[in-house]
Structure 1
Amino acid sequence: MATTKIYLDTRAVKPGNPARLKLSICHFRSRVLIPLEAKVLPSQWDDAKGKVIKHPDQMRLNIYISRSKEKVDSLLLGLANEGVLATCTIAEIKQYIIDILNPKLAETRAREAENKKKFSYQYKEFANKHTENTMKIYMHTYSRLSAFAKENDIDLENILFEDVTREWLSNFDAYLAKTSPSQNARNVHLRNIRAVFNEAISNEVTTAYPFRRFKIKPIATRKRSLTVDELRTLFNYPVQEYARVHRDMFKLIFMLIGINAVDLCHLKEIVNGRIEYSRAKTHRLYSIKVEPEALEIINRYKGQDWLINALDRYTSHQDFIKHINKALKKIGPMRRLAGRGGKWEIEPLFPELSTYWARHSWATIAASLDIPKDTIAHALGHGNSTVTDIYIDFDQDKVDRANRKVLNWVLYKKKSASYSVPKGVSRSASKGVSHSASPIE
C-alpha cells in the first residue's frame, strides 16, 4: 500500500524565504513529491502534526492540505481495491494524483493531447523546427491552406489528418491553380503538406496517408544549364569591372561543384586544401577540394571574417545573390541607342542566367563526360542517407577527379582528370599563395 505525508521542501530555499509544501508518496520503496499550491516559512510548519502554525491564513491552508491529502488517500485506496495499485509505477501514480489535485491542469493536458492529433497543430510544429527561411516557405503554404479553407468553409484549425483525403488535396490543388497555373509551383505546397504527413506518421500521430493515391507529378521545365561552349563564351566575354566581379562569383560557384550561394558567403577557411561545411538547406556535410583556378578567385576576393568578402559588402546573402543575378543578366553586347544622349542597350547573352545555373551546368557537363551517376549524385549531395551511406564512406577522390575533369574540359578543352599548371593560371595560385583582394561591387 502506498503511503502519503505532507512535506515542507526546504531544499534550495534561501534562509528566511518560504518553502513549498509538497505531498510525499511512497510506493514500493520509491518516492515522488507533488507540489501543492501553498508556501510557508519553516517556523510556520509543524512537521509532526503535518499542519501550518502561526500563519495569518493557517485555517484556509490547513483545510486545503487536509482535503488534498484526503483526495489522494481516497484515490490510492480505490486503486488498491481494484487491484490496480500493485501494478502501477510511481510515475503513473504521480500522474493520477496530479490530475485529481489539479483538474484544470488535467483538462489542459487532455486538450493539448487532442490538439496534437490535429493537422494544423502538427503543421505549425513541423514548420517551427526548421531554419527561419525554410519556416517561411512552410508558413506560406499554410497561408494558402487558410485561404482555401476560408473559401470552402473549412475549420482548418480543427481538422484531423484523416480529413485530408485524396479528394481534399485535389480540391486544394484546383484552388491553387486559379492563381498559380504552374504545376511545379503548386507542387511545392503539396510537397510541404506531404512532409508534415511523413513526420506525423513517424511520430505515430496518425496512420492516414492520402499521398498513396494522390501523386505529385512534376512537369519538366526548360533547361537551366549552359553548354560547354556557352560557358566558355560567358567566362571569356569582355565585361565591365562590376560585371567581372559577379561573373567571377558564378565561376567560383561552378568550380566548387555548384555550391549554394548562401553557403559560399558563410565559408570560413580552407583546411588542407578543402572547404568543409554543412549545407544550410539540407544540413548535409560537404567536403570539396579547392582547385587552383578556384583558389585564385578566392584570393582575389578575400573577406575580413569570411573566406570571400560578400558579407563585407552586402547586408545579407540574399542581397549578395540579388546583385549577382542582376549583373549576370546584363552580360552581353552593348550598343548606344540613336538620338542625342542616347542610352546604352544590352543584348544579354543569357537573359535568364542566375547562380543556380552553375550547379545544373556542372551536373550536365559531368554527365556528358561519362562520369558515373553515383559520383555526380554524391558530388551534388543527392545521396539517400541510407544505412549504407552512413557506414560506408564514399570515395571522395572520385568526386575530386570528376570536378577536375569537368574544369579541364570547360577551361582547357582537355578530357582528362589530371592537373598541370595551365596557361593563364599562376603557379602561385596552384601553391595557395594569396593575391591582393578586390572588392565585390
Structure 2
Amino acid sequence: MATVKVKFRASSVPTKEGTLFYQVIHKRVARQINTSYKLYPYEWNTPNAEIVFLPDIGNNRRNYLASLKDTLHENTNRLKGIILCLERTGEDYATEDIVKHYLTSSNIEGFISFTRGVIQQLEQIGKQRTAERYTTVINSFGRFLGENDVLLDEVNSNLIVRYENFLKSSGVCPNTSSFYMRGLRAIYNRAVEKEMTVQRYPFKHVYTGIDRTTKRAVPLKIIRQIRELDLTLYPMADFARDIFMFSFYTRGMSFIDMAYLKKKDLHNSILSYRRQKTGQKLFIKWEKPMQEIIDKYDTGNTPYLLPIIKDMNLDERRQYKNAAHLVNDKLRKLGEKLELAIPLTTYVARHGWASIAKSKNIPLSIISEAMGHDSEKTTRIYLASLDTSAVDKANSQILKAL
C-alpha cells in the first residue's frame, strides 16, 4: 500500500524560509507534490516530520504555524483517503494516479474542481454575474487551501471555521467574509442537490449575515471638497471624481446603472432607468450639474450616456468592470489626499446622499423611493402610494444645498 510523508526543502539561502512538500511512495516509485507552505529550518523537526513551536515566537507566527499544522494533517489524511479509494477498487494503480487525483480530483470530485465546472455551466447559460461571484469566492478559498483542492466529503465545519479565521487574519471585514461564506454555501448546496456529497451543514458556526454599514457616508462639506478639487492635470482622477459626483447628483445611482445608461433614457428632462440589481424603474429630474458632466465627454460613437463602455466591439461587461476598478482606485487616492476617515468609493456617494437627505429632514419614505429600496419589506410599505414629484423636490433641495 502507498505511503505519504511530509518533507521540508531548505532554501539555498540559510536565513530564508524553505518549503514543505508531500512525498508519495507506491511500489518503490516516489513522487512529490509541491506546496506554497513556508517554514524556517528551525521550525521543522525532520526525524519526526512535524512543526516545532519555539517558546519565544509571537502570537501571529504561532497562529500561522498552528493553522499550517492543521492543514498538513488534513492534506495527508486526504491523500490517505484517495489511496484507500483506489485500493477499494481492486484495480492496479500507480503513484501518478494518486498525485493526479489529489491535484485535479479526476474521478474523485474535489470542491474547487466541482465549482469550476459550475462556473463553466453558468457562463454557458448566460448567468455571467453569478459565475463572476463564484469565481471571486473560489479564488479566495483556493488561496486559503494553498491552491490545492479538497474532496467534497471533506468540506466540514472545522475546515470552514479555519477558512473564516484565515480571512480574519488577512484583514477581511465581516461583510466580505460573509460574502465568501454565502457564496461557498450556495456552491456546496449545489453539490448536495446533485447527491455528490451529504449535507453536513459546514457553515453553521461561521458568520453569514450582513452587518449594517455605518461608516460609508460623508457630510455635505466633504462632497463640496470633492467637487471643488482642481484635477485639471489628472484626467483619470478627474473622470473618477465626475462619476462620483454624477452618482451623487442622481440620488446615489450605482456604478453599474451609470455604466449602462443610454442616451435614449434621457427624454424631456427626465432620466429614466431600470436598476440592474432589483429591476425597479426609477425616474430622475435632469439637473444642470448632471448635464455639465455629460458635456465634458465625447460619447458620439456609443449609445451610452457616460464614457464607461466606450468600444462597441469589445466585451461591454469587461469594460464596465475595468472602469469600476479604475474609478474606485482613483477615488481611494483622492480620499487619502483629503484625509478622509473612510475609503472613498462610488458607494460613498450613495450613502452620502441618503445621509444628507436625512439631515435635511426629508422623510424616510421619500429617501427610500429615491434610492430604489423596493427589495425590503419595510421599504415597500413606505413606497405604497408616493408621488415621484416629492423625490425630485428632495433631490433639488440637496443639490441646491451643495
Question: Kindly tell me: are residues 194 and 230 of structure 1, through their superposed partners in 2, closer, same or farther at Cα, counting changes over 3 Å?
Answer: same
Which residue identity does 1:360 align to in structure 2? H
The reply on whether 1:297 has 2:290 as its aligned counterpart is no
**Corresponding position of 2:348:** 357
CA contact (8 A) 2:248 2:350 kept: yes
In 1: Cα distance, 2:280 partner to 2:333 partner: 34
Q: Which runs of 5+ in 2 are unaligned?
A: 1-106
Select the residue among 275, 296, 317 that pairs with 2:320: 317
Select the residue among 133, 136, 146 that pairs with 1:137: 133
Shift of 1:228: 1.3
CA contact (8 A) 2:181 2:207 kept: no
Shift of 1:301: 3.3
In 1: Cα distance, 2:369 partner to 2:188 partner: 28
Q: What is the TM-score with the length of structure 1 in the denominator?
A: 0.49
In 2: Cα distance, 1:203 partner to 1:368 partner: 51
The reply on whether 1:267 has 2:253 as its aligned counterpart is no
In 1: Cα distance, 2:189 partner to 2:392 partner: 35
In 1: Cα distance, 2:221 partner to 2:174 partner: 32
The reply on whether 1:401 has 2:390 as its aligned counterpart is yes
CA distances 1:32-65 after superposition (whole Å, capped 9, x unpaired): xxxxxxxxxxxxxxxxxxxxxxxxxxxxxxxxxx
Question: Kindly tell me: are residues 348 and 184 of structure 1, through their superposed partners in 2, closer, same or farther at Cα, counting changes over 3 Å?
Answer: same
In 2: Cα distance, 1:319 partner to 1:150 partner: 27
Shift of 1:303: 1.8
Shift of 1:150: 6.8
Which residue identity does 1:129 align to in structure 2? L
Shift of 1:381: 3.9
Select the residue among 245, 249, 253 that pairs with 2:247: 253
**Corresponding position of 1:190:** 181
Shift of 1:404: 3.6
Residue pairs, 1:12-411, within 5 angstroms: 121=114, 124-125=117-118, 128-129=121-122, 131-132=127-128, 134-146=130-142, 148=144, 155-156=150-151, 158-159=152-153, 164-180=155-171, 182-196=173-187, 209-211=201-203, 214-216=206-208, 223-240=215-232, 242=235, 244-268=238-262, 269=264, 270-271=266-267, 273-279=270-276, 282=277, 284-293=279-288, 294-301=290-297, 303-304=299-300, 305=302, 306-312=304-310, 316-325=319-328, 327-328=330-331, 347-348=337-338, 350=340, 352-384=343-375, 394-395=384-385, 397-398=387-388, 401-402=390-391, 404-411=393-400
Question: Kindly tell me: are residues 275 and 171 of structure 1, through their superposed partners in 2, closer, same or farther at Cα, counting changes over 3 Å?
Answer: same
Which residue identity does 1:301 align to in structure 2? Y
CA contact (8 A) 2:161 2:205 kept: no
Which residue identity does 2:122 align to in structure 1? K
| Secondary structure in structure 2 of the residue aligned to 1:187 | helix
Which residue identity does 1:384 align to in structure 2? S
Question: Kindly tell me: are residues 137 and 405 of structure 1, through their superposed partners in 2, closer, same or farther at Cα, counting changes over 3 Å?
Answer: same
Q: Which runs of 5+ in 1 are unaligned?
A: 1-113, 333-345, 414-441
CA contact (8 A) 2:232 2:238 kept: yes
CA contact (8 A) 1:325 1:354 kept: yes
Q: CA RMSD in A?
A: 4.6
In 1: Cα distance, 2:257 partner to 2:182 partner: 24
Aligned pair count reads: 277
In 2: Cα distance, 1:284 partner to 1:115 partner: 41
CA contact (8 A) 1:232 1:411 kept: no
